[in-house]
């Protein structure tokens, strides 16, 4: 079997033949073995100074890997490191961080990492293979968030080969598992928690190898990090020009208004804005006019993913697909984009929007062949045109969509009675609650709720604090809520956490709608075993097609830019990454002007 993962050999002849400082999915890594820095950083960025950032709601723990509670902002971003680091100008390439080389076996059933002898935790201890195994064991145990045991389900055994070598053996071939282990397994010291059960390690400072450590914590209000003066990875190519601030402080705000006004008053230095209203009307005033504050949209090529109103199919009310489609017909995006969002958004039609992985028209070629080969029976409709969200652009109208919705609801056993309410044969009214944690999300729901009222559907809006909101999501205690399925440019194992039957019953999973469709799991299994980019994209399109035929979410919208406002004393590199999230990009690559 040919190996599609490209391994770049070290240029230094004295190194072992197996040594590979970079791995890539389906292509050669962009950067050579002797590269000095990523293209999207300023390698000569000045170091120093303090920057303040915003946190939202509250936090009550310092362990970001357990299910209960909310971890402080910045912990994973600034303190924890992985064996490799992913570049942001390639779909999925990994370069050595804690590991100085990575040996992916020819039979694709194991990977061995050799740790950099310079790697150390902030307490001075070397990062050793036993720490890697300990981190894996803790994260995949029942004491940690269940997402990790799902991500690494195909790892059969972890073996400490030597003091600085650790091997992961796989149960079966998985074309991205070795890359996920390199970039998705946070490493921490065996000494963290002083022997406490992992789910009780909540208030102890993590012992980590990253560029920062905690300076002070005021739970629920503020968390501050200080850059290590002797950070071990200072000169690594994957760290040059990065993490340039001496101190980074996260200040917490209880609501959106306080958060925005705090930024305008100078309480923190940059804001990633996700509210169209705030971006259009809130970011103005004297400090913007004077140039003290600057707002700018930064383009990106990220896969948009899917955000929408997730209907909890664990509730009988939403188990009929005709009902879910009817509720989607009541969402008038075109009106909302004009009246509420200032024309800023594009309607999201696909779970892989803004990418070649989005299904189009009827299935053909490799996608059709995959669908034809599935063991589970498919609805014949899947082989027709892929569903698109309803529109109200002329000649279509909301009235026409609502008429279609009433037909679907009647087929599902619901009719409008004399009192104007939609009821089933038993006389029960159609009523549900939309759960959110912010006024911005509520603004999205209000026009939809108004349209649902015209169908005789009663809806309650409930906005709660972020901590309670998260607890209710983790236990699936909601009717409808806003949820985002974030997709990468090279999707893989994380899809099981989103769409598998097992995840539907797993508290804390991403399967918020409670999807139980064996067909999806078979497609995901094919996708994670893809051996070429075209094969992966065909599987993703098949997955997208089946998901869209299920009408599991009322699709929202997306934006192909990051909206950022910042203080004028901050600077950033001229070259932007291709695939990047705004917050980590700012943390890693920005600096304070001299």
Per-residue pLDDT of the chain in tens (594 residues, 90 and over written 9): 222 233 333 333 333 334 468 899 877 899 999 999 999 999 999 999 999 999 999 999 999 999 999 999 999 999 999 999 999 999 999 999 999 999 999 999 999 999 999 999 999 999 999 999 999 999 999 999 999 998 899 999 999 999 999 999 999 988 889 999 999 999 999 999 998 999 999 999 999 999 999 999 999 999 999 999 999 999 999 999 999 999 999 999 998 899 999 999 999 999 999 999 999 999 999 999 999 999 999 999 999 999 999 999 999 999 999 999 999 999 999 999 999 999 999 999 999 999 999 999 999 999 999 999 998 889 999 999 999 999 999 999 999 999 999 999 999 999 999 999 999 999 999 999 999 988 778 889 999 999 999 999 999 999 998 889 999 999 999 999 999 999 999 999 999 999 999 999 999 999 999 999 999 999 999 999 998 999 999 999 999 999 999 999 999 999 999 999 999 999 999 999 999 999 999 999 999 999
List the one residue out of 296, 303, 237, 302 whose CA is nearest residue 578: 302
**Domains assigned to the chain:** 6-35+80-200 (3.40.190.10), 212-301+560-592 (3.40.190.10), 306-558 (3.10.105.10)
List the one residue out of 251, 192, 253, 218 whose CA is nearest residue 60: 218
**Contact assessment for residue 480 and residue 512, using Cβ atoms and an 8 Å cutoff:** no
SS3 sequence of 150-173: HHCCCEEEEEEEECCEEEEEECCC
- DSSP H/E element including 379: none
Compute the distance between CA of residue 159 and CA of residue 168 in angstroms, rounded to an integer.
6
In sequence order, the 6+-apart residues with CB closer than 8 A to the CB of 485 are 305, 306, 307, 351, 498, 510
Residue found under tokens 């053909």:
364
E runs forming strands in 316-403: 346-347
pLDDT of residue 464: 92
Pairing of strands 247-253, 222-227: antiparallel
* Displacement of CA 565 from its chain's centroid (Å): 22
pLDDT of residue 467: 87
List the one residue out of 491, 484, 485, 487 whose CA is nearest residue 525: 491
Rg (CA), the chain: 25
**Contact assessment for residue 357 and residue 491, using Cβ atoms and an 8 Å cutoff:** yes
Compute the distance between CA of residue 219 and CA of residue 221 in angstroms, rounded to an integer.
6
Residue found under tokens 């076996």:
105
CA angle 31, 528, 368 (to 5 degrees): 115
**Contact assessment for residue 23 and residue 5, using Cβ atoms and an 8 Å cutoff:** yes
Q: Is 191 helix (H, G, I), strand (E, B) or coil?
A: coil
Distance between start and end Cα atoms, the chain:
55
Q: Is 371 helix (H, G, I), strand (E, B) or coil?
A: helix
Compute the distance between CA of residue 181 and CA of residue 488 in angstroms, rounded to an integer.
16
CB atoms within 10 A of CB 117: 12
Looking at residue 61, the DSSP 8-state letter turns out to be: B
CB atoms within 10 A of CB 124: 7
């Amino acid at each position: 079997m040919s190996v599609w993962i490209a391994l770049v050999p070290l240029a230094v002849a004295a190194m072992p033949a197996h040594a590979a400082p970079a791995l890539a999915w389906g292509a050669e890594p962009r950067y050579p073995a002797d590269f000095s820095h990523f293209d999207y950083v300023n390698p000569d960025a000045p170091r120093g100074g303090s920057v303040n950032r915003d946190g939202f709601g509250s936090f009550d723990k310092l362990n970001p890997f357990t299910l209960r509670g909310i971890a402080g902002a910045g912990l994973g971003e600034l303190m924890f490191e992985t064996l490799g680091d992913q570049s942001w100008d390639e779909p999925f390439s990994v370069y050595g961080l804690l590991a100085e080389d990575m040996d992916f076996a020819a039979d694709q059933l194991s990977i061995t990492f050799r740790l950099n002898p310079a790697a150390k935790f902030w307490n001075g201890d070397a990062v050793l293979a036993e720490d890697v195994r300990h981190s894996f064991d803790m994260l995949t145990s029942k004491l940690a968030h269940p997402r990790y045991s799902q991500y690494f389900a195909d790892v059969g055994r972890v073996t400490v080969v030597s003091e600085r070598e650790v091997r992961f053996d796989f149960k079966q071939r998985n074309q991205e598992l070795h890359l996920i282990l390199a970039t998705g397994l946070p490493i921490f010291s065996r000494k963290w928690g002083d022997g406490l059960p992992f789910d009780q390690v909540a208030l102890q400072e993590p012992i980590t190898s990253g560029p920062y450590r905690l300076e002070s914590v005021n739970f629920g209000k503020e968390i501050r990090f200080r850059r290590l003066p002797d950070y071990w990875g200072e000169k690594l190519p994957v760290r040059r020009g990065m993490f340039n601030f001496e101190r980074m402080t996260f200040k917490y705000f209880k609501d959106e208004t306080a958060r925005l006004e705090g930024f305008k008053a100078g309480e923190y230095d940059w804001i990633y804005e996700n509210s169209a209203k705030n971006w259009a009307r809130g970011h103005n005033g004297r400090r913007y006019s004077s140039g003290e504050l600057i707002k700018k949209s930064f383009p990106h090529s990220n896969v948009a993913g899917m955000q929408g109103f997730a209907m909890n199919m664990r509730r009988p009310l939403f188990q009929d697909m005709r009902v879910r489609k009817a509720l989607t017909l009541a969402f008038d995006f075109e009106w909302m984009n004009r009246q509420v969002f200032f024309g800023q958004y594009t309607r999201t039609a696909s779970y892989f929007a803004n990418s070649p992985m989005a299904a189009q028209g009827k299935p053909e070629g490799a996608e059709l062949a995959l669908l034809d080969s599935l063991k589970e029976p498919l609805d014949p409709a899947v082989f027709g045109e892929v569903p698109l969200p309803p529109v109200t652009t002329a000649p279509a109208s909301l009235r026409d969509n609502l008429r279609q919705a009433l037909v679907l609801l009647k087929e599902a056993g619901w009719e409008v009675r004399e009192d104007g309410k939609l009821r089933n044969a038993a006389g029960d009214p159609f009523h549900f609650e939309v759960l959110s944690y912010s006024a911005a999300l509520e603004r999205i729901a209000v026009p939809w709720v108004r349209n649902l009222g015209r169908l005789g559907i009663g809806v309650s809006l409930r906005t709660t604090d972020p901590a309670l909101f998260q607890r209710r999501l983790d236990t699936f205690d909601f009717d409808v809520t806003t949820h985002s399925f974030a997709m990468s440019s090279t999707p893989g194992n994380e899809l099981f956490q989103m769409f598998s039957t097992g995840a539907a019953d797993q508290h804390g999973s991403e399967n918020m709608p409670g999807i139980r469709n064996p067909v999806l799991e078979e497609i995901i299994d094919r996708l994670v075993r893809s051996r070429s980019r075209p094969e992966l994209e065909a599987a993703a399109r098949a997955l997208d097609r089946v998901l869209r035929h299920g009408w599991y979410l009322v699709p929202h919208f997306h934006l192909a830019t990051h909206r950022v406002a910042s203080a004028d004393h901050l600077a950033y590199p001229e070259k932007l990454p291709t695939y990047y999230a705004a917050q980590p990009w700012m943390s890693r690559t920005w600096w304070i002007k001299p």
